[in-house]
Structure 1
């Protein structure tokens, strides 16, 4: 490989960009699960990625100063505008994946425009439900950071540093709060964002803080038997998934940094693995659940009355597909369940795992 192209592909953060065949040298034993997964699952083709990025969500970036959908119904406030705008984040990730496959300067240039527009326009709210979709922007930066124009790279880095440290500060300030948003699914999404941010910044100190927050969330959010606290409050597997997905994304980011978080344990022995095992009988169809039948949360009842999909009726096991695809990166034994729920892995997995 020519030295210039090698530099562009590998970049300054080598672990993220190398082919998984090199991983046994870098990460053992967790890398073995990743390498085995990549040998069994077909990544998106270059043609498929190029076809995807040829159809942007809008004619131009849809950057807005604030994204807000939390606590609102469709057509209320800026819900619809926000929902449309945040499609840019997954598009940015797709652009980064397509560039990684092709090294096409035009794709990188297009991504640069999106990054610049968003980091110059957006004002962080530190609402993790509104901002959880920024994982697409973070992933795009991480995939391409060594090749980005210096000004874009530094602006985006500063934005992600402000996001990561800001969330960590707010978590520290509210560590002893009794409000449930500091221990339920909201906190899981905060943990995801700070871990993805720390990994994208390649900042060991911030990653250590994220790990401590992750362990605190195990203590607060997952019971000894693996049941997630959101289940008792909302009587819905929807929120079990919604709380576990971000924790798994955090564990995947830590995995790329050579750390194994799936078996980190809280005070009572709870872990991501115990939560996955608790959910698995429902994912496998051995158990069923009527969603939100006895929820204690008024907004869930409002959404059910408004006819929002998924807030009534029997839980659909396929909703756990992303949970078990994420888990399969960390432990190949979850691959069978993931494939049964959805034979095609989510495209973001390739950006999160760099499996090509």
Structure 2
């Protein structure tokens, strides 16, 4: 077992992405502080610069509330929400650009977009909806030193309201919803140095592994929805939190391997994914889903939700890169996504 790199101690990832999915997964600033722009692969650098040039003068377009979870892809309210959530894709691009080039313009744009959303959005406690705002959470780690005390207070108060609303939601099912909530609350807690929020997230993470992961490597998402996509999307935010926890408190690595009395663990559930991510096996999704929404999606003719559709291996690459922080056997050498290329460069420091 090896870590991807000692530089990656703060490897924190977020998934966003409607218009710029290639740059939707972010790393915490501490993970990139020693990476000069000249070290970033040329293809990644050029793609990023071209994307930022397209949105350089865009302004934030925040929402009061996100309408996404539980709605079909063709629902007008969801379509409108996705349009507004392009702000998170743009924020992610400015984040990467500032990380590599330390430019004042990207910093200002992160400030504008973050403050715009904090001024308008009202948390509801829905983790499927609100985990999409994680770019704002992590942008704060760059922005805080440049904010006046009043601005800091407003941003931190808003972030705590998000965490409080998530904690207060007693209707979160024990599946990928819960891990998204754990990551959101725990990440806010770690960035704001709020021990109560961090403790809550750790306790919920332990409960999740105990009751939603199983000794054969499967999960509640596999058993409820027969979908490897939801299994992977449930592991990803849990890994995000564990990596952050390892960096900040040294407690994530042990948690990654720790087994329940029945033999379940985060690592074992990643082992379940490996043959599918490598293309050695094919997972046919949705054939035995017990969830009404999945059946509605299929009936609506949405191709990716048709029973028997094959899971695409590359959809697991970023999650496996996360897992590679704890054990390099999960790394996908064939992955050409920006995240994988950057991780490979950082790995050279070993």
Normalization by structure 2: what TM-score? 0.79
The residue number in structure 2 matching 1:111 is 110
Cα distance in structure 1, aligned partners of 2:77 and 2:269: 35
Cα distance in structure 2, aligned partners of 1:226 and 1:79: 33
- CA shift, 1:300, in A, is 0.4
Q: In 2 relative to 1, CA 332–76 (structure 1 residues): closer, same or farther, beyond 3 Å?
A: same
Q: Secondary structure at the match of 1:329?
A: coil
The residue number in structure 1 matching 2:134 is 135
The residue number in structure 2 matching 1:85 is 84
The residue number in structure 1 matching 2:251 is 259
The residue number in structure 1 matching 2:293 is 299
The residue number in structure 2 matching 1:328 is 324
The residue number in structure 2 matching 1:72 is 71
Q: Secondary structure at the match of 1:98?
A: helix
1:167 corresponds to 2:163:
no
Q: Secondary structure at the match of 2:333?
A: helix
Contact 1:68 1:82 in 2 (8 A): yes
- CA shift, 1:46, in A, is 5.5
What is the aligned counterpart of 1:314 among 287, 310, 317? 310
Contact 2:41 2:342 in 1 (8 A): no
The residue number in structure 1 matching 2:336 is 343
Q: Secondary structure at the match of 1:330?
A: coil
The residue number in structure 1 matching 2:227 is 236
Higher relative contact order (CA 8 A, sep 6+): 2
How far does the alpha carbon of each residue in 1:88-134 deviate from its partner, in whole angstroms, 9 at most, with x for none?
Answer: 12322322332233332222222211111100100101111111211
Cα distance in structure 2, aligned partners of 1:333 and 1:41: 24
The residue number in structure 1 matching 2:50 is 51
Cα distance in structure 2, aligned partners of 1:157 and 1:43: 36
Cα distance in structure 1, aligned partners of 2:73 and 2:297: 10
Cα distance in structure 1, aligned partners of 2:62 and 2:88: 10
The residue number in structure 1 matching 2:24 is none
The residue number in structure 1 matching 2:13 is none
Where does structure 1 lack aligned partners over 5 or more consecutive residues?
Answer: 1-15, 23-34
Where does structure 2 lack aligned partners over 5 or more consecutive residues?
Answer: 1-27
Cα distance in structure 2, aligned partners of 1:225 and 1:333: 19
Map 1:266-277 onto structure 2 (within 5 A): 266-277=260-271
The residue number in structure 2 matching 1:12 is none
- CA shift, 1:47, in A, is 5.3
1:186 corresponds to 2:177:
yes
Q: Secondary structure at the match of 1:67?
A: coil
Cα distance in structure 2, aligned partners of 1:205 and 1:304: 42
Contact 1:95 1:140 in 2 (8 A): no
The residue number in structure 2 matching 1:199 is 190
The residue number in structure 2 matching 1:218 is 209
272-281 or 46-55: bigger deviation: 46-55
Q: Secondary structure at the match of 2:79?
A: helix
- CA shift, 1:289, in A, is 2.2
- CA shift, 1:192, in A, is 1.5
Cα distance in structure 2, aligned partners of 1:345 and 1:244: 20
Cα distance in structure 2, aligned partners of 1:249 and 1:159: 21
Q: In 2 relative to 1, CA 112–75 (structure 1 residues): closer, same or farther, beyond 3 Å?
A: same
